[in-house]
Structures are given as structure tokens and as C-alpha cells.
Amino acid sequence: VSCHKIVLMASSPFFEVMFQSEFKESTTQDIPLDFADAVTIKTLVEFFYSGEIDVCDDNVQTLVAASEFLHTKDLKDHCDAFMATRVDTSNWIELSRFGKKFNLMRLISAAREFILLNFQDVVKCFSDFPTLTENELIEVVSSDELNADNEDLVFSAVVRWVNHDADERKEAFSRVAPLIRFPFCTHETLNNVVSQEPLMGNSECMELIMEALYFNMHNHHYLYSPRTVPRRAFNGKRQPFATKVAGIPVQSIRLDDRTPKWKSEAPMLHSLNSFSVVQFNNKIYVFAGRNADGLSTVTQEFDPGLGEWRLRSPMPGVCEYRAAVVALNDKIFVVGGKERSLFSYEPAKDTW
């Protein structure tokens, strides 16, 4: 392939370093390349000269690998955008894993959104669903954005996933089961299916069933949505459900030490879904999440001693999906989201 070094250097940091180094490639006229096949290399050279390239289903993955090798970010981003439009029931797992391998953020987001929105169709097809790893299954089942009319389908899908390779996956069920929202299974399924499932035959799972049955008996008249109730750990135990119901802001509740009853605290100043919470210096901080207008940057601080909320300085950016929050030394860190954000907050100075 005849070409000019200056064109290669201008197009790829890989060639720029190669030709400016003391390696023999900087002086020789013939340079063997083996990072891709000959057709792909010729296609890339033509792209370097013309700025045009024909990306299709047959070559896009090869071009991604080549652009990763050559550090050609624009081409990689172009391929990322193309692949994000090709996700369907037959390839979402393959493309999701490919996106994570090459850090293709648009593709990763598209594959995740596809499975969450089309969970019923994917489970109905079931051809690729059993190939999910335990971590991939957990990522799907634990999401607040999973689209399911009720939890019957989710439970059935998890059981089928385990039984597809029962010898290897039986132990995994105990780790996945707490992520299933049993209170939102239908009463018939709880009594006739979940309670009779052999995989549920241990004390931990029986506790989940009893919790779900109790919830159904006492809360069936509330307008809860099965997929808008976040699940959070509270002192190592499952926290009572709380959500925005019919437009009413989420309430703060705690167990009164003097009586075995929960008491309502002051409501949050801003109603949120999928937010993140952390305790710091005897106060509770709420970050990120979504409000009626979309992604939220609001910071809310609750003082249990005073029983009061107050607004603090807003986050400098948003997190597309629920962020992780951790308190370390004198700061609070908000990590994650679609944007791969990392924000640090100093409560004493109220500064980000």
C-alpha cells in the first residue's frame, strides 16, 4: 500500500509516535503491519486520505479494533454511533460485551437500554438469555428501569437462567433472589409458583416470600409502580419501600427507638427517583437522581437532630444512571453514571 508518512502521522497518533521515534520504522520505506487484515488496512489508508469511509455490519467490529490500535478516536466514535443503532433481540448481549471490551459508551448505553425496555421480548425469545453471566444478570434484574408489567416475568426468567445450568448456577440463585421485587409479583404467582419453587427452599428466600405476602396484604391499595421503587440496603437489611406516589414527595421514615413503630420525618425538599444517599458527620445527604424535569443536580442535607432539610450547593454535573456515593475523610465522592463522573464535595465548606 503506497502512502505518505506525513499523512499517516497526521491521521494516527500510532504512526506519529512510530515515525518520530528512533525505531527502524522511522527510516525504512517498507513497514509490515499485522494489526488487521490487508483489506482493512487499505480501507484505513483510503480513509486517511479522503476522510470518507463506508462502515457496515460486516466491517464495523474490525474497524473498531483497528481504530483502537491506531488511536483514531473520530473513527472509533463513528463506529460506536453506528453500532448503537444496530442493537436488537438477536445481538444485544454480543454487542454489549463488545462495547465494554472497547469502551464504546454509546453502544454500551444502547444495549443496556434495549434489554431494559424489551425485557419481555428478550425473555420470550430466550435464545441468548441463558448465556448471561451472573454479573450481567444481576445488572439487568437490579435495575430500577427494567420494563416489566409485574415481577412474575422477572422471577420466571431468573429461574430459567439457573435451571439452564443448574449444577453451576444453583448457588448463584441465592445472590440474585434478593434483587427480585417479590412484593410486586401477583398474589397468585407468590402462592402457587414462587412458594413452590425448590430454589426458594431456604430461610433467606422464605423470608423474602413472607415479606412479599405481608406487603401485598397491607399495601395493595397504594399506587406503586413495580419498577420505580429503588432497593437499598439499610443496616444490612432490606429497607421498607418508599416511592413517589401520585405526585406526593418521597417521605423520610425511621424507627422510633421508644416504640416499635415507624414515624414520618419532614419530606424531602425536592421529589426524586433513583437518587443516592450517604451518611456523613451525623447528617444524611441526597444526591443525583431524577425529578419531574429530568436529571437532577440538587444536593439535599437532612439533620436528624433538628428534623430539618436544607439545600446545599448543587452538583457541578449530572449522572445519567444512579451514582455510587461514599464518604471518605472530610469529603463525599459521587461516582459513576453514563458520563463516568467523579465529583468531590466538602460539606464543611459546601463546595464541590
CATH number of the domain residue 324 falls in? 2.120.10.80
DSSP string over 64-95: HHHHHHHT-HHHHHHHHHHHHT---TTTHHHH
283/310 same-domain check? yes
Q: What is the 8-class DSSP label of residue 258? A: T
Q: Which of 117, 138, 156 is the last residue of a domain?
A: 117
Predicted pLDDT of residue 321: 60
pLDDT at 161 over 50: yes
140/89 same-domain check? no
37/149 same-domain check? no
60-70 and 73-84 are packed helices; what angle lies between their axes, rounded to 10 degrees?
Answer: 150
**Least confident interval from 59-63, 127-131, 216-220, 269-273:** 216-220
pLDDT at 262 over 80: no
pLDDT at 257 over 80: no
Which segments within 218-257 are labelled E, that is strand?
Answer: 233-234, 237-238, 253-255
Predicted pLDDT of residue 237: 35
Task: Compute CA 146 distance to the chain's CA centroid, rounded to the nearest angstrom.
Answer: 11
25/135 same-domain check? no
8 Å CB contact between 319 and 334 = yes
202/284 same-domain check? no
232/276 same-domain check? no
Distance CA 62, CA 68 (A): 10
Which segments within the chain are labelled E, that is strand?
Answer: 233-234, 237-238, 253-255, 262-264, 276-280, 283-287, 290-291, 294-295, 299-303, 308-312, 324-328, 331-336, 341-345
CA distances from 151 to 155, 180, 228 (A): 6, 7, 12
Predicted pLDDT of residue 325: 86
Residue with the bigger pLDDT between 263 and 352: it is: 352
Report percent pLDDT > 90 for the chain: 47
Q: Which of 50, 83, 117 is the last residue of a domain?
A: 117
Which domain, by its residues, includes 219? 118-240
pTM: 0.61
pLDDT at 72 over 60: yes
CATH number of residue 177's parent domain: 1.25.40.420
31/95 same-domain check? yes
Distance CA 199, CA 190 (A): 14
Number of H helices and E strands in the chain, helices first, is 13, 13
Q: Which of 117, 139, 160 is the last residue of a domain?
A: 117
Whose grid coordinates read 440474585? 176
Predicted pLDDT of residue 229: 47
62/130 same-domain check? no
14/91 same-domain check? yes
322/215 same-domain check? no
What's the structural domain count of the chain?
3
CATH number of residue 37's parent domain: 3.30.710.10
Predicted pLDDT of residue 219: 53
134/112 same-domain check? no
Is 141 in a helix, a strand, or coil?
A: helix
For 182-228, the pLDDT digits (tens) are: 888 888 898 899 999 999 988 888 888 888 887 776 554 444 444 44
Mean predicted lDDT score pLDDT of the chain:
83
Q: Exposed, middle or buried, 9 (CB in 10 Å: 0-12/13-18/19+)? A: middle
Distance CA 341, CA 288 (A): 11
Q: What is the 8-class DSSP label of residue 196? A: T
* pLDDT band, very low/low/confident/very high, at 347 (cuts 50, 70, 90): very high
2/107 same-domain check? yes
